[in-house]
Amino acid sequence: MKKQAKIGWSLWGSAEKVRERLMIEERDKMIDVVEEKTRENYKLKDVYKNIKGVYERILNEMGQLIIGQEDVIEQILIAIFTKNHALLEGYPGLGKTLMISTLANVIDLKFKRIQCTPDLMPSDITGTYVVEERDGRKVFKFERGPVFTNILLADEINRATPKTQSALLEAMQERQVSVGTSTFPLDEPFFVLATQNPIEMEGTYPLPEAQLDRFLLKIIVDYPRIEDEERIIDIYTSEEIPKTRKLLNREKLIAIQKLTRMVPISKEVRRYALDIVTKTRPIHDGVAKKYLDYGASPRAAIGLVLAAKAHALINGRNFVSKKDIREMAFPVLRHRLILNFESERKGITPDQVISEVMDEVE
């Protein structure tokens, strides 16, 4: 009897010890989580304190090589900070590719470039299985394509065939690549910065509207001013071309991406953004019905608010204002509007329509 009681006591004691150990482990885990959050908060606070300074330093650094394109750089950064992709359109020789490669250097991220041509295959982008000999046996190994990077420059995307474009756009949307039966997640952060030029349309495959919608911004690269062009000539004809430093690492970039989504927006400003987007739909009388066949999607509304948040953040504001919405409306909406025949005939541009839509909303 005494022996049984002893066993019982020892069992109860060991159960207690187990419980205690579990509680300690649980507590330690919670402490870890809290510490992690606190550390993250400190990091976020630190990044947030210097966000404007970081942005200005990036602009200055890029300004050594890219002259007179501050707006374009700002918009590219906005696309990156909002975890989205951007399409750059401009005439050849305006420095689109240089701009993106310089940005990739300034931000300490992996950068790859694809020159799109009609014979470019999807596997050239996503990667493919190759046969490899291992321990005297031949095995299939997935050879990763250039899409497995942080910043992907798809140069002249409209020269690739629709099949290849689709493979790229799927990767953009899903942030993963499916080859055969396997799925490979892409690295974080991942951005596609595609370029296309509005001339030389022969032998090109213009991106369908549904695929254009996946780019947050369509950035128009325009000719620089005369004085800027003089500086460009000086820089690129001198003995030594300046080199850029790395200013932003992956961790900081992810912190900025988190901060971007934290920027508060008032109901009124949100409504304003929504009004602009809905007014582009030609279902009501007004500017849209006059000029457009199709308007912007809800994805455009999400993109507009997100881009406005990033715009506010890099300009040192802790709230989204109508000014942010107005400034971002052009790059967010211009590739999402489909002009009707009459507008195209008259040579009206999407930017003119957006401008009129904003006037109508106000």
Binding residues for another protein, rule: CB under 8 A, are 41, 44-45, 48, 259, 262-269, 313, 318-322
- Smallest distance from another protein to CB 188, Å: 21
Instruction: Answer for the pair 163, 122: CB distance below 8 angstroms, yes or no.
Output: yes
For residue 274, the one-letter residue type is L
- Nearest residue (CB) to another protein, 46 versus 143: 46
- Smallest distance from another protein to CB 225, Å: 33
- Smallest distance from another protein to CB 45, Å: 6
Instruction: Answer for the pair 291, 343: CB distance below 8 angstroms, yes or no.
Output: yes
- Smallest distance from another protein to CB 270, Å: 8
- Nearest residue (CB) to another protein, 144 versus 322: 322
Per DSSP, helices labelled H in the chain are: 2-49, 51-63, 70-81, 96-106, 122-126, 162-174, 209-212, 226-236, 250-262, 267-278, 287-291, 298-314, 322-333, 341-346, 350-361
- Nearest residue (CB) to another protein, 48 versus 184: 48
- Nearest residue (CB) to another protein, 55 versus 215: 55
- Smallest distance from another protein to CB 48, Å: 5
- Nearest residue (CB) to another protein, 40 versus 227: 40
- Smallest distance from another protein to CB 271, Å: 11
Q: Distance between CA 157 and CA 145 in Å, rounded?
A: 16
- Nearest residue (CB) to another protein, 48 versus 205: 48
Instruction: Answer for the pair 112, 152: CB distance below 8 angstroms, yes or no.
Output: yes
DSSP string, 228-282: HHHHHHHHHTSSS---PPP-B-HHHHHHHHHHHHH--B-HHHHHHHHHHHHTTST
